[in-house]
Structure 1
Amino acid sequence: MKGKLLNKIRDKELTVGVVGLGYVGLPLAVEKAKAGFKTIGFDVQEEKVNLVNEGHNYIGDVVDSDLKGLVENGMFRATSDFGFIKDVDFVAICVPTPLDKHQQPDISYVRSSTEAISKHLTKETMVVLESTTYPGTTEELVRPILEKGSGLKCGEDFYLGFSPERVDPGNLIYKTKNTPKVVGGIGKDATEVIAAMYRTVLDGDVAEVSSPAIAEMEKILENTYRNINIGLINELAILCDRMGISIWEVIDAAKTKPYGFQAFYPGPGLGGHCIPLDPYYLSWKAREYGFHTSMIESSMMINDKMPEYCVDRAARILNRFEKSLKGSKVLVVGVAYKQDIDDYRESPALEVIEVLKGSGAVVEYYDPWVTEYKYHGQKTKGLTEITPEQIESYDLLMITAAHSNVDYEMLQKHAKAVFDTKNVMKYVMERENIEVL
């Protein structure tokens, strides 16, 4: 089986399947097709399937013309019919792995996708889980489902592995194509063949590890590392505020050291599809071994409380104008979870808005990248533009995303007060009405 698959990879005779056409799956599917492999995208959302088949792109990291061209020349199509799994030789599972209401891993998408695949899995197929999850998922959950549903045996009839997604929306340097990959298969042959497939498609290095669990833990480490360091800097930001010290100047000074220090920055909380969620997967799994991840959980607690802390700071600013938060008009600028993207998944700005509203503030938002968002089942529309006259009508502006296409000098000039939680206004010269986190 190994030799046959390696030959098919070399000759580009494989058909690729990608399950889940979101921020991870669609860019991966496009790269597979661009590399010369006929590709089928699977998604349960008919809207996404229709958009792909019409050549309409909806993901920022995908070039519109690439998608349209691949669809038109027959290299890429989408479907909601998992019966076509029988036609693929390689399938990547790129579905969401959120948290449930109890902050525990919700692996229902992985489970349902694997069950759908298992019903149509054929011999000599490679299956790779890319969704971020707890160590052990591939071997303890995915493998039994595939074997039971297909009647095939892992390692003999099909190969199975884990290769964590690495997607940084809006990154101008690293995209799916040139970001290094990690591959851990069940058995050396599986690792070798799956890695060979990625090497044929991607420009980045492909690191092979000894098992799926190593690759799963590696992904958790990447994001837990960032979670903990951001938690540290957020806690120091709170302390520096009490001490009357600028945390931003402290960080800039520390950055002058050419070794042993990497800069992380405070903010209103954590957002995105990985960093706020992944540590919960590890802490949940650790309980199975009677282990308490105290450092990880402490950082999560700090980061989770930042939206409320930022609202407390906002109330203090309004108090200086003899205004209470209740009844004050507040404009939140930026609801995307990071700079210059339209992705608001887990954005702390959404929680900031909820806390503000819960305190009685009259809240509106403006984000040139996100014209509306859905949070807790409710849709909220933002302002389509902001004028000097509008700015003057608000009691406070809260900057919660560092977008580069916002006129911050205009905001400062016409605002009564500004609370900049991202230090994006650091180059604005007039600062008498600006307070920084």
Structure 2
Amino acid sequence: MNLYEQIVNRQEKISLVGLGYVGMPIAVAFAKKVDVIGFDINKQKIELYKNGIDPTKEVGNEIIKNTTVQFTSDESKLKEAKFHIVAVPTPVRDDHTPDLTPVESASRTLGKNLTKGSIVVFESTVYPGVTEDICVPILEKESGLKCGVDFKVGYSPERINPGDKVHRLETITKVVSGQDDEALDIISKVYELVVEAGVYKAETIRVAEAAKVIENSQRDINIAFMNELSIIFNKMGIDTKAVLEAAGTKWNFLNFSPGLVGGHCIGVDPYYLTYKAEQMGYHSQIILSGRKINDDMGKYVAENTVKQMIKTNKQINGAKVALFGVTFKENTPDVRNTKVVDVIKELEEYGVEVKVVDPTADKEDLRRNYGIYLSEVEDIKEIDAAIFAVPHNEFRAIQLEDVKKMFKSTESNNVDAMKEVAATIDFEKVTESERKDNVLIDLKGMFNRKEAEDAGLAYWRL
């Protein structure tokens, strides 16, 4: 009886090392079929899970409450499992070089508790070679076991899309790899327990590692192209969204749009690939060019917000701006590597007071990592500009009339009041630009441009 059969018969367990936005949904999915140990060094997070609370909002409190996952921060519990999945973050440092500290630490912890006959599968995003050249030596050193003899390894890149309720673990083809045919066969069968879309067996671990980093690098480059187009069309006075809608009528036009590119994958993975390329003596051209464009978009948005405020005769130093949405993408509390923070920092450099509203964001992460404290929608009053940065479902319910009420009241916003004071003014001849007193920055095109402009707002979007 091999390890797969032992797991199915509940004679052996699966462990998840790292219970964040990726690891926790995997643990919950497997727990419907087999026995699962969910390990994380964050004791506070473990207590939330034990109390039926899902801080990631990926599966929901009800599912967490009823799952059979054995949540623990006690690393010795890992000894009870034979099939281990490592799903910890792999960020980049300030100089854009890979920070392998989390995956190295996880490997040390797992190595100390590794038993003979185990299989370890890494899901963390890495550059080709990390699993075998960095993680395996750590596992061997800490366990005293020999890879290929006493235990085996594999790599299966995570493809979970945080906040996406359609493209989930179960519905996305899973790339799997193993150090030999036996490991690959077991790893494939284990994942097939939960992945309805099936698995794809990569030729080698390095092929699987490379596949992961190019998936997000490709997306990063495509978005960078759209961001560059938005910069060009903005100078031309052409609406980028209108251009993309027209171009999108061609059957093979790729459906990408401009925006802030952050998060733990798209804004990070390209640097892992280019770092390894540099080690091999090749300096990336396209990938790093795209990264530079996307990294600079927060500053670009802030600068254009200030320009629009100047056009509406706003005093910049001391102006109040409400920013809606601070997570790296819509409908997720995840604020890791969010580029919205770049917008905030740049505006504050101009002396602008920024009020941030986000009912979805993880408040503790925001406070701890960025020093940002959230405001409530009802507290947003007397502002000079509004920036809708992230299209959360809650924000899509906000109407233009609701937005207008948040701005400072001005004479030109209240034409009837002006008529009472100066009945001789011919308001039909007031130009459109003269009537635009407040600024609406709509990064993802949530509002209708014409309706916003007809409402007297200076409207700008990427």
Q: Which amino acid aligns with 1:103?
A: H
* Whole-angstrom distance in 2 between the partners of 1:322 and 1:69: 57
Aligned equivalent of 2:435? none
Q: Which amino acid aligns with 2:271?
A: Y
Q: Is residue 163 of structure 1 aligned with residue 156 of structure 2?
A: yes
* Whole-angstrom distance in 1 between the partners of 2:302 and 2:100: 33
Alignment of 1:71-150 (within 5 A): 75-150=68-143
Alignment of 1:19-418 (within 5 A): 19-35=17-33, 37-70=34-67, 75-259=68-252, 261-267=253-259, 269-370=260-361, 372=363, 374=366, 377-386=369-378, 390-391=380-381, 393-406=382-395, 407-414=398-405, 415=407, 416-418=438-440
* Whole-angstrom distance in 2 between the partners of 1:12 and 1:180: 25
Q: Deviations over 1:392-418 (max 9, x none)?
A: x11111111112322132344334221
Aligned equivalent of 1:435? 460
Secondary structure of the residue aligned to 2:318 is: coil
Alignment root-mean-square deviation, CA? 1.8
Q: How many residues align?
A: 425
Going from structure 1 to structure 2, the CA distance change for 1:113 and 1:5 (only over 3 Å counts) comes to: same
Give the CA deviation at 1:34. 1.1
Unaligned runs of 5+ in 1: none
* Whole-angstrom distance in 2 between the partners of 1:253 and 1:339: 25
Q: Which amino acid aligns with 1:420?
A: D
* Whole-angstrom distance in 2 between the partners of 1:309 and 1:423: 17
Q: Which amino acid aligns with 1:321?
A: T
* Whole-angstrom distance in 2 between the partners of 1:137 and 1:82: 23
Contact kept in structure 1, 2:128 and 2:207, CA below 8 Å: yes
Give the CA deviation at 1:156. 2.3
Contact kept in structure 1, 2:335 and 2:362, CA below 8 Å: no
Q: Deviations over 1:260-301 (max 9, x none)?
A: x2111112x212210001101111111111011110000000
* Whole-angstrom distance in 1 between the partners of 2:167 and 2:29: 14
Q: Deviations over 1:81-109 (max 9, x none)?
A: 22222210111111111111221111111
Contact kept in structure 2, 1:408 and 1:428, CA below 8 Å: no
Deviates more, 1:151-160 or 1:248-257: 151-160
In structure 2, which of residues 447, 451, 459 is the aligned counterpart of residue 425 of structure 1?
447
Q: Which amino acid aligns with 1:404?
A: N
Secondary structure of the residue aligned to 1:40 is: strand
Contact kept in structure 1, 2:108 and 2:142, CA below 8 Å: yes
* Whole-angstrom distance in 2 between the partners of 1:162 and 1:182: 8
TM value normalised by structure 1: 0.93
Contact kept in structure 2, 1:409 and 1:428, CA below 8 Å: no
* Whole-angstrom distance in 1 between the partners of 2:227 and 2:242: 14
Secondary structure of the residue aligned to 1:89 is: strand
Identity of aligned residues (%): 35
Contact kept in structure 1, 2:355 and 2:374, CA below 8 Å: yes
Q: Which amino acid aligns with 1:382?
A: L
TM value normalised by structure 2: 0.88
Deviates more, 1:187-196 or 1:50-59: 50-59
Contact kept in structure 2, 1:336 and 1:349, CA below 8 Å: yes
Contact kept in structure 1, 2:37 and 2:72, CA below 8 Å: yes
Going from structure 1 to structure 2, the CA distance change for 1:115 and 1:27 (only over 3 Å counts) comes to: same
Q: Deviations over 1:21-44 (max 9, x none)?
A: 111111111111112x11111111
Secondary structure of the residue aligned to 2:169 is: coil
* Whole-angstrom distance in 1 between the partners of 2:113 and 2:374: 44
Unaligned runs of 5+ in 2: 408-437
Q: Deviations over 1:344-381 (max 9, x none)?
A: 22221111011111121111111222373526744322
Contact kept in structure 2, 1:132 and 1:164, CA below 8 Å: yes
Going from structure 1 to structure 2, the CA distance change for 1:376 and 1:12 (only over 3 Å counts) comes to: closer
Going from structure 1 to structure 2, the CA distance change for 1:180 and 1:117 (only over 3 Å counts) comes to: same
* Whole-angstrom distance in 2 between the partners of 1:215 and 1:352: 35
* Whole-angstrom distance in 2 between the partners of 1:345 and 1:308: 18
Going from structure 1 to structure 2, the CA distance change for 1:44 and 1:413 (only over 3 Å counts) comes to: same
Give the CA deviation at 1:155. 2.2
